[in-house]
Amino acid sequence: MTSPHPAPQRPPLPLGVKRFVARLPVHLYRIGLGPLFGRRLLLLIHTGRTSGLTRKTVVEVVECDRTGGSWTVASGFGPRAQWYRNLLHTPQATIQVGRRYYPVTAQPVTPEEGGRLMARYAPRHPLAARLLCRFMGYEVDGSEAGYRRVGESIPFLRLEAAPGSF
C-alpha cells in the first residue's frame, strides 16, 4: 500500500560553508555558550556506529517533559542523518541542556506519535514549523491535519533520562 502523501526528496546534507554554519552551535557549546540556547536546543553526545568515536551534534527540542526527564527531537534530514543512525545503533548517549548533563537512552517514536508531536509543535513555534517543513521539502497549509501528516514521515527520537539523573 502506498502512502497518499509520499515523503519528498530530503535536502542534501550540508557541505563546506553550510556544514560549518550548521555545526556552529556545537562550537558554541564547546566554548561554554550552550546556555544561550536555553531549552530550545541541546547538545547530543553519542557514539559513532562504525568508528566507535564520540560524536557531537546540536538538535532542536521538539518537546520536553520536565517532570519525567525526556526530550523529543526530530531528524530534519530524515533517517539518513548520521546522529540519528548512530542513536538507533547505540541508543545510550549524553545530552547537555544549558549547563546540565544527563545520561539518556534514545527510543524511536511511532509515526502516529510523530504526527501528534508536529501538530503540537507547530502552534508553539509557527514560523520555525513552516520553515522546517519547507526546508525538508514539505508543503503545509498551516492546518493541524497538515502538520500531522508531515510529522508522520519525520523520524523522531525520545531521549529519556536515566532513572535518578533528573
* Rounded average pLDDT per 10-residue block, the chain, 166 residues: 52 65 82 87 96 95 92 91 96 95 97 97 94 85 95 95 83
- Its pTM stands at 0.84
Per-residue CA distances from 128 to 58, 131, 132 (Å): 16, 5, 6
* Domain range summary for the chain, segments of one domain joined by +: 16-161
Superfamily of domain 16-161: Electron Transport, Fmn-binding Protein; Chain A (2.30.110.10)
| Cα dihedral value 142, 133, 61, 4, nearest 10 | 80
Instruction: Report residue 59 as a C-alpha cell.
Output: 538538535
Q: Which DSSP string do the residues of the chain spell out, in sequence order?
A: ---SSPPPPPPPPP-HHHHHHHHHHHHHHHTT-GGGGTTTEEEEEEE-TTT--EEEEEEEEEEEETTTTEEEEE-TTGGG-HHHHHHHH--EEEEEETTEEEEEEEEEPPHHHHHHHHHHHHHHSHHHHHHHHHHTT----SSHHHHHHHHTTS-EEEEEEPTT--
- Confidence at residue 1, expressed as pLDDT on a 0 to 100 scale: 45
| Cα dihedral value 138, 143, 144, 148, nearest 10 | -20
Per-residue CA distances from 151 to 35, 61, 112 (Å): 28, 14, 8
